[in-house]
């Protein structure tokens, strides 16, 4: 499911959660000055990889690319996570990353 589709479903099923996502997570947390959006993207991709959250990982790899993270940097994050979070989660993240890279032509 794509990010816009996921937001639409969230809005339909739990409107308040969709509101929190928009207003608090992306409107406040992602806008805080302590870290750049690029750094937040690197952290988020690493965390979602480590937690095996592929549904969210797809959208955040795309967001990372939008925030200036390169394909090589995303690949390096996944490699790093292989040693800290485990081989299976990294192998899964590689597949998700490939799909996003292919869709975006990067």
* The pLDDT of residue 8: 84
The tens digit of pLDDT for each residue in 42-73 reads 999 999 999 999 999 999 999 999 999 999 99
Say if residue 52 is exposed, middle or buried (CB neighbours under 10 Å; 0-12, 13-18, 19+).
middle
Are 78 and 90 in contact by the 8 Å Cβ rule? The answer is: yes
Domains and CATH numbers, the chain: 1-32 (no CATH), 35-106 (1.20.1290.10)
* HEC sequence for 61-77: HHHHHHCCCCHHHHHHH
In the chain, % of residues over pLDDT 70: 96
CA proximity to 29, closest of 16, 43, 15: 43
């Amino acid at each position: 499911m794509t990010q816009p589709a996921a937001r639409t479903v969230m809005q339909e099923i739990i409107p308040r959660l969709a509101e929190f996502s928009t207003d608090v997570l992306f409107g406040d947390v992602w806008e805080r000055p302590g870290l750049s959006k690029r750094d937040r993207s690197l952290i988020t991709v690493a965390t979602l990889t480590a937690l095996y959250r592929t549904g969210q990982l797809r959208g955040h790899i795309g967001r990372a690319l939008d925030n200036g993270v390169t394909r090589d940097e995303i690949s390096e994050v996944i490699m790093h996570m292989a040693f800290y979070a485990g081989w299976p989660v990294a192998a899964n993240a590689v597949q998700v990353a490939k799909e996003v890279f292919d869709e975006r032509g990067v």
